[in-house]
């Protein structure tokens, strides 16, 4: 009785770590937006959201980032490095305090709906 050797599995090259660029995502929303909408109405809330969107685009692009998505009072942005994302987050927070309303950078309980969160993601 002869036994044939099982075929060897094809070799799979390990992915090169340099092939996967690091991206940093910035998620931001306006604190108290739902309450603001209830107190001031839909038209005022729409103006607030538009102002926030304008600020987000301006400040994110100034740091070399890109706004991927805007939903009402929320912005999802991407950067090629962490320092640029942090700089944009701090600038956005400062301008929102001045112009729009407060955008919270940190707070108890981690990052929630009304918290500004910086996430470092690979790939």
Predicted pLDDT at 117? 37
Predicted pLDDT at 39? 85
14 within a domain of the structure (yes/no) = no
4 within a domain of the structure (yes/no) = no
Predicted pLDDT at 42? 92
Predicted pLDDT at 88? 92
Residues 96/102, Cβ–Cβ less than 8 Å: yes
| Host domain of residue 74 | 21-122
16 within a domain of the structure (yes/no) = no
Looking at residue 28, which CATH number applies to its domain? 3.30.70.1230
Query: Both tokens of residue 90?
Result: 């701090």
3 within a domain of the structure (yes/no) = no
Q: What is the DSSP string of the chain?
A: ---PPPPPPPP-PPPPGGGS-EEEEEEEE-TTHHHHHHHH-HHHHHHHHHHHHHHHHHHHHHTT-EEEEEETTEEEEEESSHHHHHHHHHHHHHHHHHTS----S--TTSS-TTS-EEEEEE-
74 within a domain of the structure (yes/no) = yes
The tens place of each residue's pLDDT in the chain, 123 residues long, gives 555 665 555 565 555 556 677 788 898 888 788 888 888 889 988 888 898 899 999 999 999 999 999 998 889 999 998 899 989 998 988 887 766 554 444 434 444 433 333 333 333
Predicted pLDDT at 70? 93
15 within a domain of the structure (yes/no) = no
10 within a domain of the structure (yes/no) = no
Q: How many domains does the chain have?
A: 1
53 within a domain of the structure (yes/no) = yes
Q: How many CB atoms lie within 10 A of CB 53?
A: 17
Q: Is the pTM of this model over 0.85?
A: no
Predicted pLDDT at 122? 34
């Amino acid at each position: 009785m002869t036994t044939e050797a099982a075929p060897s599995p094809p070799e799979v090259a390990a992915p090169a770590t340099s092939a996967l660029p690091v991206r940093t995502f910035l998620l931001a929303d306006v604190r108290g937006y739902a309450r603001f909408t209830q107190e001031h109405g839909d038209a005022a809330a729409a103006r607030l959201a538009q102002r926030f969107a304008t600020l987000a685009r301006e400040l994110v692009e100034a740091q070399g980032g890109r706004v991927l998505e805007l939903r009402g009072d929320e912005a999802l942005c991407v950067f090629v490095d962490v320092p640029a994302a942090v700089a944009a987050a701090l600038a956005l927070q400062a301008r929102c305090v001045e112009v729009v309303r407060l955008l919270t950078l940190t707070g108890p309980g981690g990052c929630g709906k009304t918290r500004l969160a910086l996430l470092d993601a690979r790939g």
